[in-house]
């Protein structure tokens, strides 16, 4: 059997010291960047493989930095970003710099809308990477009727290409001993063995029905 550890358990739990500090690579609705250390404090000290079947921005994975991980999500453009980070981090940097330079040279909202249009025509990780960092509030949302990404451009100034590149360098080592897959959560969870740890942070059906094309 797998042991379950609830975040709100009242039983005494062991504290885990988080030694890795990574700033957000991706912005994602519901991400646990601010609470990752607290969440991890409820994890067991000893476990086999770390499973995260609702990967999103990977905030808890990034803070925990497990020796072995199986992380997954059903959204293929998101998984494309993580898999490319693992196999070709320089390409991920280039994806961002190409679009960031276009925005610096042109009218911000117009450039954003052109990138969003390209994504909606052919959903892909390259465009999603930049959109999630520049959209309003970092909330990537999709229309239920057609799956169209509808979030407008945010008022904030996107981080520079050099700052983003530094974050890529922070996150890349995390992927070395990880398996990154596009997979339904039930299948991913079924692969866990006794002694493994599964962390679940699913979209909330009552507030996040606009995610993943509903």
What's the order of all strands across the beta sheet hosting 50-52? 178-182, 69-73, 50-52, 197-198
In angstroms, the Cα distances linking 128 to 69, 76, 78, 105, 179 are 24, 11, 7, 20, 21
pTM for the full predicted model = 0.86
Predicted confidence at residue 206, as pLDDT, reads 56
Q: Could you give the percent of the chain with pLDDT greater than 70?
A: 85
Predicted confidence at residue 29, as pLDDT, reads 80
Give start-end residues of each CATH 3.40.50.150 domain in the chain: 33-74+183-202
Q: Check pLDDT > 90 for residue 203.
A: no
User: Is 1.10.1020.10 the CATH classification of the domain at 90-175?
Assistant: yes
Give, in words, the CATH class of 33-74+183-202.
Answer: alpha beta
3-state secondary structure of 140: coil
Q: Are 21 and 61 a contacting pair, CB within 8 Å?
A: no
Predicted confidence at residue 139, as pLDDT, reads 86
pLDDT band at 22 (very low <50, low <70, confident <90, very high): confident
Give start-end residues of each CATH 1.10.1020.10 domain in the chain: 90-175
Predicted confidence at residue 149, as pLDDT, reads 92
Segment 33-61 shows an average pLDDT of 94
Q: Check pLDDT > 60 for residue 199.
A: yes
């Amino acid at each position: 059997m797998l042991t379950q550890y609830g975040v709100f358990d009242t039983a005494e739990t062991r504290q885990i010291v988080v030694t890795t500090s990574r700033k957000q690579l991706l912005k994602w609705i519901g991400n646990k960047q601010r609470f990752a250390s607290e969440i991890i404090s409820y994890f067991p000290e000893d476990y086999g493989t770390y499973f995260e079947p609702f990967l999103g921005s990977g905030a808890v994975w990034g803070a925990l930095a497990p020796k072995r991980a199986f992380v997954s999500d059903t959204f293929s453009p998101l998984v494309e970003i993580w898999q490319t980070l693992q196999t070709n981090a320089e390409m991920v940097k280039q994806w961002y710099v190409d679009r960031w330079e276009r925005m610096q040279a042109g009218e911000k909202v117009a450039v954003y809308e052109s990138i969003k249009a390209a994504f909606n025509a052919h959903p892909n990780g390259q465009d999603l990477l930049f959109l999630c960092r520049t959209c309003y509030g970092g909330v990537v949302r999709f229309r239920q009727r057609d799956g169209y990404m509808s979030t407008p451009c945010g008022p904030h100034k996107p981080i520079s290409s050099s700052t983003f590149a530094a974050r890529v360098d922070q996150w890349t080592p995390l992927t070395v001993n990880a398996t990154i897959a596009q997979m339904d959560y039930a299948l991913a969870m079924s692969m866990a063995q006794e002694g493994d740890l599964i962390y679940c942070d699913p979209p909330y059906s009552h507030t996040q029905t606009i995610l993943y094309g509903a």
